[in-house]
Amino acid sequence: MIPTIDFRIVAEEDDNGEQAYRCSKCKADMNTRYYLCKRCFQEIADNASTTWTSEKPNIDEFILNSQRDADQVHQFIEWIPFDSFTNIEFVAEGGFAKVYKASWKQGCWECLTEDDTSTRYFKRRGSMEVALKEQKNSVTLSVEYLKEASMKLLFLNENRQPYVLLISITSKQVAAYLKCEYRFLRDNRLYGLSVNPETSQIILVMRYMSGGDLRQLLIKNPAELTWSERIEQLSTLMRDLQTIHKAGFIHKDFHSGNVLWTHDNYQNYELCISDLGLSGPANDKDDKVTGVVPYMAPEILQGQPKSTASDIYAFGIVMWEFSSGQPAFFDFRDDDISLFKQRIIKDKLRPVPVDGTPDCYVNLMEHCWRPEPEKRPTAEEVLYTLLAFIEMNDKTLLTFNDTVFDQFESAEESRLLKGSSDSNERFHHDRYTSGIIDTDYAATVEDVGG
């Protein structure tokens, strides 16, 4: 780990009487007081690198490159010894990773302001809760995906908007783990890497989202979110996807289990898309199709490559979950996964819109899951429509629309009548876990169609 950051960013008046910033150590001019002095920080990082090793040269190089390229404290990662963690508790297990909650004794780096001055300094937060995501089959990590990680980390550093704050690593796909325009800026990022000494598996050290995932939130509280809140949260998630797509990336495994949530300081729901590209085991060398079947577009189930359009399809399924409070296809009782996939492809099986759902909402949702990828809306178009719903429901705006307002008002009345109910979980949990999907049956499906 980085042992200390011993310089400050000092605010001074320049010759023109304007505020300027300078490194207290090397006296270099700074563009802003929030940035690291790259010269001094690189020296610190290089010296610290002699005191740690992951014993995996490609990981060491990846971490060092993140530190050399960083302009701010949230833009670099560290190698964190496993003995830095206490109170480790198992939380959940997915198809390709186990997740634990732990206390990180030292905590992450923060940029703080000295009292009564504009000088900025850097210190560790101290003991804090983190999530430890142990990647299965990650004993060996390929050079290729670490190169891709470096590329995506560079993207994050060059796109310093508040909503681009962290990355996540997996074997073949190393991807951005994005946070998009929350009401209050959160320090939501990958803090570093570690290794489980008992299993030798790589661990991602990340912010702990105390609420869990969206699927469990909706199951436990199916009627808690108002329709206004549902549209606002879906808009936030679509901003995530729009940011991902604009950057030239694809999520590849979007579903309600990959949307994490917590409460902010004002008890508002705060949602975050996780695990972009986390769609396979960490040592996978083949181009296998992976994912969660209920959210996979029909063309993907037939072996076609994933695309922005398949992300939109999955978003449409999540829209249905917001309207129903249930996992998609929870009532499909047949255990034959091949039959389930064939129904999606050949019979165009989709969730049935819930009674009381606004017609305009159903129309958008069904456009998202159209069978033809080219006929699905783009992320930008979906976001535009969701924001339009918000404006059409605001009587103070010229964009107010009586028809749309009446639809959402009726849906809200229906929600209040239903009330909160304890939802059962009588569905096939395995169906909602990421796994490797067999697409060899695709030719047979075509034959069945005649």
- For residue 100, the domain's CATH number is 3.30.200.20
Do 137 and 63 share a structural domain? Answer: yes
Same structural domain for residues 302 and 247?
A: yes
Burial of 369 (0-12, 13-18, 19+ CB in 10 A): buried
Q: Are residues 123 and 268 in the same domain?
A: no
Confidence class for position 433, pLDDT limits 50, 70, 90? low
Mean of the pLDDT values across residues 228-246? 87
State which residues form the domain around 222: 212-449
Give residue 244's pLDDT: 76
CA distances from 72 to 35, 156, 158, 194 (A): 5, 11, 11, 21
Residues above pLDDT 90, as percent of the chain: 32
Q: Give the pLDDT band (50/70/90) at residue 107.
A: very high
Which CATH number covers residue 228?
1.10.510.10
Structural domains counted in the chain: 2
**Domain co-membership, 78 together with 57:** yes
Q: What is the pLDDT of residue 174?
A: 32
Q: What is the pLDDT of residue 412?
A: 92
181 pLDDT band, cuts 50/70/90, is very low
**Model confidence band, residue 370 (pLDDT cutoffs 50, 70, 90):** very high
300: left (phi over 0), alpha (psi -120 to 50) or beta: alpha
Query: Does residue 143 register a pLDDT over 70?
Result: no
Is residue 54 in a domain?
yes
Which residue carries 């732990």 as its tokens?
102
Judge if 186 and 301 occupy the same domain.
no
Are 280 and 346 part of one and the same domain?
yes
**pLDDT tens track for 199-215:** 888 888 887 877 777 88
Q: Are both 166 and 64 inside the same structural domain?
A: yes
The model's pTM is 0.71
- Strand spans (E) along 136-223: 167-168, 175-176, 190-195, 202-207, 212-213
Measured CA to CA, the distance from residue 119 to residue 116 in angstroms comes to: 9
Asked whether residue 118 carries a pLDDT value surpassing 50, the answer given is: yes
Residue 267 has pLDDT above 50, yes or no: yes
395 and 264 belong to one structural domain: yes
Predicted local distance difference test score (pLDDT) of residue 177 = 32
Residue at 2 is within a domain? no
Of 146, 137, 142, the closest CA to residue 95 belongs to 137
Q: What per-residue confidence (pLDDT) applies to 335? A: 62
Read off the pLDDT band of 151 (50, 70, 90): very low
Do 38 and 138 belong to one domain? yes
State the pLDDT at residue 309.
96
Q: What pLDDT is recorded for position 435?
A: 55
Q: With respect to residue 78, please indicate whether it lies within any of the assigned structural domains.
A: yes
Instruction: Give the C-alpha separation, 132 to 33, whole Å.
Output: 32
